[in-house]
């Protein structure tokens, strides 16, 4: 099983739980809000390798000079014109 990636905490009560997927964490937040009326929050420890790679290839700002130009995840504007 994957290690926990997302922690959901509620400052209004003692609720805290860790999840391996964002979807499950979001569901827990919504369930907690609906059941208890509290606004729980989450912290993301890490993202999946594919999401991390896409972010790294795009660069911090997404500008062409910051991207990894040979990445299959980054398209040049000239490619879009074809």
Q: What is the pTM of this model?
A: 0.57
2: confidence class by pLDDT, cuts 50, 70, 90: low
Helices (H), strands (E): how many in the chain? 3, 3
Compute the Cα dihedral for 34, 39, 44, 48 and give only its sign: positive
Write the CB contacts of 11 (distance below 8 Å, at least 6 apart in sequence): 41
Mean pLDDT, the chain, integer: 80
The pLDDT tens digits of the residues spanning 30-69 come to 999 999 999 999 998 877 787 777 777 776 666 667 667 6
pLDDT at 81 over 90: no
Q: Where are the domains of the chain?
A: 6-69
């Amino acid at each position: 099983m994957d290690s926990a990636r997302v922690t959901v905490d509620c400052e209004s009560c003692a609720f805290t739980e860790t999840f391996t997927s964002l979807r499950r964490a979001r569901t827990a937040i919504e369930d907690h809000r609906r059941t208890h009326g509290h606004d729980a929050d989450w912290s993301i420890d890490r993202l999946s390798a594919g999401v991390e790679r896409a972010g790294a290839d795009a660069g911090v700002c997404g500008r062409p000079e910051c991207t990894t130009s040979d990445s299959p995840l980054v398209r040049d504007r000239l490619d879009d014109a074809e």
